[in-house]
Amino acid sequence: MRILVVEDNARVGEVIAQALRADGHRISVADTRAKGHAELESASFDLAIIDVGLPDGSGIDLCRDARAGGHDLPILVLTARTGISDRVTGLDAGADDYLGKPFASAELTARVRALGRRGPRWAEGKREFGALCVDRERRSATIDGVPLAFTPRELDIVTLLAWREGRVVPKDEILETVWGSTREGLSASLEVLLVRIRRKLAPLGMEAVRTVRQVGYAWALERSKRS
């Protein structure tokens, strides 16, 4: 998984990063709330680990910002405060799990694996983009109630991009998520499927998937307020 670690203590941040890299994850580290927010807005992550005590604000506020911005990735909050009220505050702010300091690296990596298996908060449910409804639980997509003939892989691509809501998803991440591999030749398959997806979404009258050269793709439709 690609994981964002927001921790202002350089030593603690490095310990966390080393433990997670040893467990096979890709890590980005930010040491302030502002940098953490910028990372979330500029890149796609599978999970975030956020310390409560940051020099320019609370990690709890960063957690709230992430949820308000539509980020559905699992969030693990770190804090030296272990009281029940502190945990409740973190969970109410949108955190998925809470880990008190000090902690053992083995417990941290176990919590991360558990959150990774749980997946994004949008593992079930549906979202609407005007006339388009993408239902992940039912594995279907419709325009004005009329089913779209997406193949399973096409629907996986649409769902991944739609739930990122405009954030650029790197091509390799799409390949890894949909095909489980980034082997040579799959990029051409992805491009063919995107042509088909755009054609099937053409009745919407606007571009649904935006290409970001040499980076990846982004969902271009705005979500309906009611969804």
pLDDT digits (tens, 9 = 90+) for 41-54: 887 788 999 999 89
User: Does residue 106 sit in the same domain as residue 157?
Assistant: no
- What is the model's pLDDT at position 210? 94
Query: Which residue, 121, 146, 180, sits at the end of a domain?
Result: 121
Q: Which of 22-26, 49-53, 77-81 has the lowest mean pLDDT?
A: 77-81
pLDDT of 3 > 50? The answer is: yes
- Give the span between the Cα atoms of 49 and 69, in whole angstroms: 17
- Does residue 95 fall inside a structural domain? yes
Token duo for residue 187: 């990029």
Please give the backbone phi and psi of residue 208, each rounded to the nearest 5 degrees, phi first: -95, -30
Angle at 90 between CA 84 and CA 91, to 5 degrees: 90
Give me the amino acid identity at 208.
Answer: A
User: Does residue 61 sit in the same domain as residue 138?
Assistant: no
- Give the span between the Cα atoms of 133 and 146, in whole angstroms: 10
* Strand intervals (E) in the chain: 2-6, 26-30, 47-51, 53-54, 57-58, 75-79, 97-100, 126-129, 132-135, 140-143, 146-147, 169-170, 209-212, 216-219
User: What value does the mean pLDDT take over residues 157-180?
Assistant: 86
- What is the model's pLDDT at position 143? 94
More confident residue, 87 or 114: 114
pLDDT of 68 > 80? The answer is: no
User: What value does the mean pLDDT take over residues 84-103?
Assistant: 78
CA-CA-CA-CA torsion for 179, 182, 183, 187, nearest 10 degrees?
80
178 Cα distance to chain centroid: 15
Q: Which of 213-217, 218-222, 223-227 has the lowest mean pLDDT?
A: 223-227
pLDDT tens digits, one per residue of 114-162:
887 766 654 447 889 999 999 887 889 999 999 999 998 899 899 989 9
User: Does residue 25 sit in the same domain as residue 40?
Assistant: yes
User: Does residue 143 sit in the same domain as residue 209?
Assistant: yes
- Give the span between the Cα atoms of 90 and 64, in whole angstroms: 9
The parent domain of residue 112 ranges over 2-121
The pLDDT confidence band at residue 83, using thresholds 50, 70 and 90, is low
User: What value does the mean pLDDT take over residues 20-33?
Assistant: 93
- Does residue 18 fall inside a structural domain? yes
34 Cα distance to chain centroid: 18
User: Does residue 107 sit in the same domain as residue 136?
Assistant: no
Residue 227 near residue 163, CB atoms below 8 Å: no
102 prior amide bond cis, ω within 30: yes
How many of the other CB atoms lie within 10 Å of CB of 215? 11
Token duo for residue 147: 């089913």
User: What value does the mean pLDDT take over residues 166-170?
Assistant: 85
- What is the model's pLDDT at position 124? 47
User: What value does the mean pLDDT take over residues 191-199?
Assistant: 94
- What is the model's pLDDT at position 86? 65
User: Does residue 71 sit in the same domain as residue 145?
Assistant: no
pLDDT of 112 > 80? The answer is: yes
- What is the model's pLDDT at position 123? 46
- Does residue 210 fall inside a structural domain? yes
pLDDT, averaged across the chain: 86
